[in-house]
Structure 1
Amino acid sequence: MNIHGVGELDSSFSRFAARTAPEVLPTFDPSQATLTPQGTTIVAASFLDGVVMAGDRRATMGNLIAQRDIEKVFSTDDESIVGIAGVAGPAIELVRLFQVELQHYEKIEGVALSLDGKANRLGALVRSNLAMAMQGMVVVPMLAGWDAGRRQGRIFGYDATGGRHEETGFHAVGSGAAFARGSLKKTHDASLDAHAAILAVIRSLYDAADDDSATGGPDLARRIFPVVMTATASGVRQLPVDEVAELTSQVLETM
């Protein structure tokens, strides 16, 4: 049952919270921007039956490695994935808020948001961070998911103002994005199957790490590998560490 117009209920959780309990929304001190860990490179690529997204595991703070195993790729519901680059704290809080936003909308409206609707909502959340972005707390996400209406995987990129743009084929964000995109230009093809597309994004992260010190490559000794997720008609799946390790070995054998 659609109860959107009842009382003060709002299908947007962030608007509802801002009006009724603003203290529950995340806040950050922009003066700490240079002391906050930064997430780096995220890549995504479409394939015949869906889309894959992967992120390296390094977070930096200036010239230091702040964390070697941070996770930057998250499932937001059964059909969509978000990857984050930029200041890690606000970025992770933005993802959590977005996850609640999607759950709240479905409970209020009785239906799930379309992928375009999710892309718009994420853009609005990024836009709400604009004041902090202007002071150095920049958050740049990427959204990928399965569009049930179009029967295909789609990828959306954003700028710091919340402006969204749909990407064709593949996309990358973060400090190593230029190197990752250069790699995917040579390896991506719209006719790839899931296995080949996953190998392509893992290789692109390896290539980015080879040229960008803020992007972490695979750490075989510590068994730290990229987080890899796919979205297809069957839902969102995160690849187990052992499977990513095996695929990474296949990539390294061809280098």
Structure 2
Amino acid sequence: MTPVADGGGLPAAYLRTGSSSFTDFVAEHEPSLIPSRRGLPPGASIDAPHGTTIVTVIFEGGVLMAGDRRATMGNIIANRDMEKVFATDEFSVVGIAGTAGLAIELVRLFQVELEHYEKIEGALMSLEGKANRLASMIRGNLGMAMQGLSVVPIFAGYDHQAGLGRIFSYDVTGGCYEEHDHHSVGSGSLFARGALKKLYRPGMSGDEAVRVAVEALWDAADDDSATGGPDVGRRIWPTVALVTADGARFIPDDGVAPVVDAIIADRQGNPGGRRGGGAA
């Protein structure tokens, strides 16, 4: 237990100057609260829900991130309406793939990390700084990843210095890589990425990017059982977030539904994806 300062009040650790990193502070004084510090007993295994497919698309003036809503445990659908895309601060978002519970906890810690930095430093962290900070948190989870509890997020945000949206991907070791134009992670990423290559074009508007992202998730769900496409019967739509110079915002369900309806109409009788007007 952290010792309390003389005279009561806050523990002494809270009154000392130090790093602007909240994660480093917690790791030093209460390491058991850090998700990556909780290992499994030797030889133990756990079957936890996994998040699946996230896509990101650069458009004129910003970046879009969209995620399906399905979580799976093996061949079982564990959750049909899970949220996988989160705002990490006013100008960035993160999408999760991998072990769902651990990933959500990591995202919440990352949100606090950025808020803590802003309060201590009195300024927003740069977009690259945010991406690198998330990389170090993923690197700290390597021990859990080696036990099968991996977390592989994708990060995107608006870079005010460059005046454009940017995308960063990761591997389980904490490697951070900037992606260009578009990217996808998760079990359906192979199929989503193929769709993005065909549908993406530079200079798209935000509305066009929404259509492209939803179509990519649709194609991923068509070939990957772990990816949940738009669920028309239950009215469960992908989560879609856009980040521009004005900040991050999520498109409400009644804004995504017409996009899904348009895709269904265009693919009526031809679910493979060719839209009307072209040669067979």
TM-score norm. by structure 1 comes to 0.95
State the match for 2:19 in structure 1.
Answer: 10
Bigger shift: 19-28 or 7-16? 19-28
Alignment pair present for 1:239 and 2:248: no
Instruction: Please report how far the alpha carbon of residue 34 of structure 1 lies from its aligned counterpart in structure 2 after TM superposition.
Output: 4.2
Stretch deviating more after TM superposition (10-19 or 203-212): 10-19
Is 1:120 the counterpart of 2:128 in the alignment?
no
DSSP 3-state at the match of 2:241: strand
Aligned to 2:116: 104
Contact between 1:119 and 1:156, CA under 8 Å: does it hold in 2?
Answer: yes
Is the 2:32–2:38 Cα contact (8 Å) retained in structure 1?
no
Q: Which structure 2 residues correspond to residues 183-202 of structure 1 after superposition, within 5 A?
A: 183-202=195-214
The 5-angstrom pairing of residues 125-164 of structure 1 reads: 125-164=137-176
Instruction: Note if contact 2:52-2:70 (Cα within 8 Å) is conserved in structure 1.
Output: yes
- 8 Å contact kept, 2:154–2:167: yes
Change (3 A) 1:208 1:190: same
Confirm or deny: 8 A CA contact 1:30 1:136 kept in the other structure: no
Partner deviation per Cα, 1:56-107 (whole Å, 9 max, x = no partner): 0000001100000000000011100000000001100010000000001111
- Per-residue deviation at 1:9? 2.7
Match of 1:73 among 69, 73, 85: 85
Q: Give the 3-state SS of the residue equivalent to 1:140 in structure 2.
A: coil
Task: Give, in angstroms, the shift of residue 240 of structure 1.
Answer: 0.4
The AA in structure 2 aligned to 1:219 is D
List structure 1 segments (4+ residues) > 3 angstroms apart after TM superposition: 27-34
Task: Report the CA distance between 1:29 and its aligned residue.
Answer: 5.0
Report the counterpart of residue 3 of structure 1 in structure 2: none
User: What is the alpha-carbon distance in structure 1 between the residues aligned to residue 197 and residue 99 of structure 2?
Assistant: 27
1:33 deviates by: 5.2
CA contact (8 A) 1:40 1:85 kept: yes
Q: Structure 1 residue 246: deviation in Å?
A: 1.2
In the aligned structure 1, how far is the partner of 2:246 from the partner of 2:64?
Answer: 13
| Superposition pairs of residues 215-254 of structure 1, within 5 angstroms | 215-254=227-266
**Preserved CA contact (<8 Å) 1:33 1:137:** no
Count of aligned positions: 250
Aligned to 2:34: 25
Residue 24 of structure 1, CA deviation: 2.7
Q: CA deviation at 1:224?
A: 0.6
The answer to whether the aligner puts 1:56 opposite 2:68 as a matched pair is yes
Q: Secondary structure at the match of 1:249?
A: helix
Measured in 1, the distance between the counterparts of 2:263 and 2:38 equals 40
Residues 33 and 78 of structure 1: is their aligned pair in 2 closer, same or farther, counting only changes over 3 Å? Answer: farther
Distance 1:211 1:86, change over 3 A: same
Unaligned runs of at least 5 residues, structure 2: 1-14, 268-280
* TM-score normalised over the length of structure 2: 0.87
**In the aligned structure 2, how far is the partner of 1:23 from the partner of 1:136?**
20
Percent of residue pairs identical: 55
Equivalent position amino acid for 1:195 in 2: D
How far apart are residue 28 of structure 1 and its match?
4.5
- 1:93 pairs, out of 69, 84, 105, with 105
- The one-letter amino acid paired with 1:225 is W
The answer to which of 148-157 and 12-21 deviates more is: 12-21
Q: Per-residue deviation at 1:248?
A: 1.2
Amino acid at match of 2:205: D
